[in-house]
Amino acid sequence: MVQSAVLGFPRMGVLRDLKKANEAYWAGKLSQEDLLAEGKRLRLAHWKIQKDAGVDIIPSNDFAHYDHVLDHIQFFNAVPERYTKQKLSPLDEYFAMGRGHQKGGVDVPALEMVKWFDSNYHYVKPTLQDNQTFSLAENPKPVREFLEAKEAGIQTRPVLVGPVSFLALGKADRGSSVDPITLLDKLVPVYVELLKALKAAGAESVQIDEPVLVFDLKPEVKAAFKPAYEAFAAAGSDIPALTVATYFGDIVHNFDVVPAFAGVQGIHVDLVRNPEQLEPVIKQLGPTQILSAGVVDGRNIWKNNFAKSLDLLQTAVKALGEDRVIVATSSSLLHTPHTLASEKKLPSDVYEWFSFASEKVKEVAILAKAVTSPEAVKAELEANAASVKARAESTRTNDPKVKERQAAVTPEQHNRKTGFESRYAQQVKHLSLPLFPTTTIGSFPQTSEIRVKRNKFTKGEITEEEYDNFIKKEIDLAVQIQDELDLDVYVHGEPERNDMVQYFGERLNGYVFTTHAWVQSYGSRCVRPPIIVGDISRPAPMTVKESKYAASISKKPMKGMLTGPVTCLRWSFPRDDVHQSVQCQQLALALRDEVVDLEANGIFVIQVDEPALREGLPLRKGVEREAYLKWAVDSFKLATAGVEDSTQIHSHFCYSEFQDFFHAIAALDADVLSIENSKSDAKLLKVFIDEEYPRHIGPGVYDIHSPRVPDEAEFKQRISEMLQYLKPEQLWINPDCGLKTRNWDEVKGALTHMVNAAKYFRAQYTKA
């Protein structure tokens, strides 16, 4: 019989329950006992959803209060000493690694957090020492949660990040030089110990995620699979049966690793992202190994096309037999919203096109039945076919005027009038910029008052005039505080914006919006991605009113803030019926109109953020990656090149590792780049020297994801490190990212220290 499986389920709950509980705990409004009880309630609810849907293989240990990789850091006792020596409770130590801790005499920053492959989810990076050891925590989380489900009458398959991926995704701590993969011999015995504990608890099988198999792997990483999985095989019946899971790409290029998995029960592959790998993978399986076929999309919200999925599944069953095929989600459903049932305001026709996590688990179960007993689910198959057909024939998707404008785009529209040196000389004169100019990335605190007012306006409880007046007062406050801080380039603070992508999507044709379709980005931070359903255009200016008002009351240059075309695309749920390059160019043309309108209204510094540019990078080098970079860079340039040379174009990136695609960063031709850098080694900036990058750079000098406020000495130290790799005239001083998640006391404290540090260096270099 063909079985069904889910690789992971969203953690937050129907109404972001986990977010609210975590934040209440951090604020001292909820006890540790009550927080843990809420986590247990959510886990039980999520297991029940899957069981009720008829899913055969239900995951456990996919839940995390902050991040699943951080869970592994803690239950493998790989916690850096700077946290363990604080003698915090295990829960507070865990959160300290995720978000920093600055109270009760303890002051430690968070560990580095980076994107999970090419998704918008962030994981906490394992940070390892030269003398690193590993040991299994007492009563480890995977065992606890397996027993919790078992007690509720639900048999689960625990999920672990595999040992090779855990190490390959880690890094050496500052002051250490260890290559994480060399620690494999120390780590694998601890995995074996954990697997034995799971077997003793009653686990029949375990899902071992090795997603790094979709990368181009270094030889030493490839070589690590053999000893790791030989050790598991040697444990024999003392450990559960194992399924190695890969996702977000194909594994064909790493088939030389597959013999290492001879002792595992099954291999999971992502057939949504790479359906063409199906037959080659089947040929690689051992004579009894099971194929877990990931045919239900774990990354997008479109209803599954049952007919297409069944073609793949029937191919697998024909080759392997019913007992050796599992129908599964392509990846964890972490990247999808909780349930479509919460959406009461979507147009009825569009509603029928979507499937969120709770619906996707039903799709998995239906497909498993349909492979061998289609008559048993005949009504479901017919309804699915009708929905797929209705979407394909909908008039919502096509706008002839948008297509005409795209066809008329010329190469010249992608280029500024002159080169950077000529432009920047005009900008310095026009904007009166000092050495080491200070600015912020865009947003200021989104206070509860702002959120309440926006909610009232959305519900029609206050008038547009009342809301506009409120927003003006918030902009007044933001400008006043920047006056007091003595920043050099101001922002208006974005009090009117709910989200950096949703805000623009709501003002563009071609999008639809949800009310409860939240997805975890990191920790307690959730986003509600808009959904692209048709051709995109801008019916009216989107940001001009607020930026123009802010500039009118500002002593210093006011920066207009836009989200770039690639990020608008990547942080939306994109269409799956049109290539992403087409959607991105449509967004670029809409943003080009906005950039030109901002300049015409007195905004001469315009930041077009592209934090998702790297995220969208295909995971492997080659033709596909270069093609992506070509259309992504062209879209950014098309959006920004319509202004005069005296107008300064900024862009922002949520990472500092550009080595693999630096040529594309340079090709953007932005006058100033700001990058998230505070938790990265400053030596990563060396690439800007090696590549003789001529333009200006603002590496983030402090971590905005943490509530801690660095002192002035810490800022000076960071700037001093940066000056080892950057020229003084290149360097801008700014935070890592926007400040919307912080409170005003944290913001004012940190920015005061930041500005003072910048002035210190300005004085030193002016004297010189």
**Is the Cβ–Cβ distance between 292 and 268 less than 8 Å?**
yes
Q: What pLDDT does 655 receive?
A: 62
pLDDT digits (tens, 9 = 90+) for 516-539: 999 999 999 999 999 999 999 999
Q: What is the pLDDT of residue 686?
A: 81
Query: Which pLDDT value is given to residue 692?
Result: 83
- SS3 sequence of 321-369: CHHHEEEEECCCHHHCCCCHHHCCCCCHHHHCCECCHHHHHHHHHHHHH
Cα(610)–Cα(571) distance, integer angstroms: 10
Which of 644, 674, 676 is CA-nearest to residue 657?
Answer: 676
pTM over 0.85: yes
CB-CB contact of 752 with 692 (8 Å):
no
R_g (Cα) of the chain, nearest Å: 26
Q: How far apart are CA 19 and CA 520, in angstroms?
A: 9
For residue 716, the Cα-to-chain-centroid distance in whole angstroms is 30
C-alpha–C-alpha distance, residues 550 and 728, integer Å: 30
Q: What is the pLDDT of residues 594-628, one digit of tens each?
A: 999 999 999 999 999 998 898 888 999 889 999 99
| Binding-site positions for L-methionine | 441-443, 494, 609
Provide the token pair at 169.
């995704």
Which residues does the chain have with pLDDT short of 50? Answer: none
Residues acting as catalytic residues: 705
Query: Can you name the residues that pair with 559 across neighbouring β-strands?
Result: 491, 605
Nearest to 564 by CA among 608, 509, 511: 608
pLDDT of residue 768: 62
Q: State the Cα–Cα distance between residues 163 and 242, nearest whole angstrom.
A: 13
Residues 6+ away with beta carbon under 8 Å from 724: 682
- Do residues 213 and 119 make contact, with C-beta atoms less than 8 angstroms apart? no
Tokens of 616: 């969208």
CA distances (Å), 689 to each of 388, 655, 683, 758, in order?
Answer: 52, 18, 11, 21
691, amino acid identity: E
Question: DSSP secondary structure string, 210-226?
Answer: -GGGGS---HHHHHHHH
pLDDT at 688: 84
Q: Which residues are annotated as a binding site for Zn(2+)?
A: 652, 654, 663, 676, 737
- How far apart are the C-alpha atoms of 667 and 544, rounded to whole Å? 27
Per-residue tokens: 761: 């260096």
Give the separation between CA 215 and CA 586, rounded to whole angstroms. Answer: 30
Which residues face 697 on adjacent strands? 673, 731
